[in-house]
Amino acid sequence: MIELINGLSRCVLRPDIGGSILSWQYDGQSMFRTVLDAGKSGLQATDMGCFPLVPFSNRIADGRFCWANQSYQLPLNAPPEPHAHHGIGWQSPWEVTETAGHKTVLLLESYDLDKWPWPFRVQQEIELGPDRLAIDLTLTNLGSDNMPGGLGIHPFFASKSAVVQFSALTIWENDARKIPIGNRPVAGRYDFTIPQVIADQDIDNIFSDWTGKAKIGWQELRYQIRLSADVRASVLYIPKGGDFICLEPVSHITNAINMPDCTLPMQSIAPGKSISASFVFEII
């Protein structure tokens, strides 16, 4: 574990568990969900407070796709989910390359072409300010061919009395297998322009054409979070009856690699080139 402390803010990292953030507290209040039994063995990134999504986000249907006229099959890495899920960074240990003051730099290099058919490097910089937490991700293609790629983060927040606000123009509707099949303008219960109390909703959809800003707060708690990200989509995941919600800023829509004509496809990264994304959580 690595602990960062800055004023009233305290953040605990688990590089060995998917480059994850175990917890973030401000003035004693948990800003991400509280992880119970944090010291027990067998924890995964999905048990943490936040983890990175690399080199793609969310689902690739059946783990299959075609790129540059070649077909690929990825491992189905989240059974019983029938898809490739969340990339591979969340199931890999990350190397600590720097930790000084209020900042830690983590590195993941992958040459396992069965898990992802191109070698790549991801650098994750985590910096704790006195009233903010910043995450910067940079994905670099280490191969000799163009590589599809995307970035995102997967924070978990407590659902009890949670209030969410963000503005987006488009919501993607899913089929029964949670794969997007089309989009439409945001309306009704999917319109979070006005703050909504989450209550007992059941949502697992990706929103695009959003402003890159959101607010997450709790009716019974003092502090709220303002989230800013320089990516153009976000997944809102509210499992019915669950004790957490997720608002995941991402660079492309779910299953984008199988939807090359969609409005937010995965990017093509040339050999030796990189893409980056930044995410900032501010206390308000």
Note down the domain range covering 105: 2-283
pLDDT at 50 over 80: yes
**pTM: predicted TM-score of the whole model, two decimal places:** 0.95
Q: What is the pLDDT of residue 184?
A: 94
Q: Is the peptide bond before 93 cis (omega within 30 degrees of 0)?
A: no
Give the pair of three-digit tokens for residue 173: 């509707």
Q: What is the pLDDT of residue 128?
A: 98
Nearest to 21 by CA among 151, 133, 108, 140: 133
Nearest to 157 by CA among 94, 226, 104: 226
Give the pair of three-digit tokens for residue 215: 């607010």
Q: What is the pLDDT of residue 109?
A: 98
Q: What is the CATH number of the domain that holds 262?
A: 2.70.98.10
Domains identified in the chain, total number: 1
Per the prediction, the chain carries an average pLDDT of 95
- Highest mean predicted confidence (pLDDT) among 16-20, 238-242, 258-262: 16-20
pLDDT in tens, 245-266: 999 999 999 999 999 888 889 9
pLDDT in tens, 167-220: 999 999 999 999 999 999 999 999 999 999 988 789 999 999 999 999 999 998
Q: What is the pLDDT of residue 229?
A: 98
Distance, CA of 150 to CA of 46 (rounded, Å): 19
Q: What is the pLDDT of residue 260?
A: 81
Position 36 confidence tier, pLDDT thresholds 50, 70, 90: confident
Q: What is the pLDDT of residue 37?
A: 75
Give the pair of three-digit tokens for residue 69: 């006229």
Q: What is the pLDDT of residue 42?
A: 85
Q: Please report, rounded to a whole number, the percentage of residues in the chain having pLDDT higher than 70.
A: 100
Q: What is the pLDDT of residue 241?
A: 87
Which residue has better confidence, 240 or 151? 151
pLDDT at 89 over 90: yes
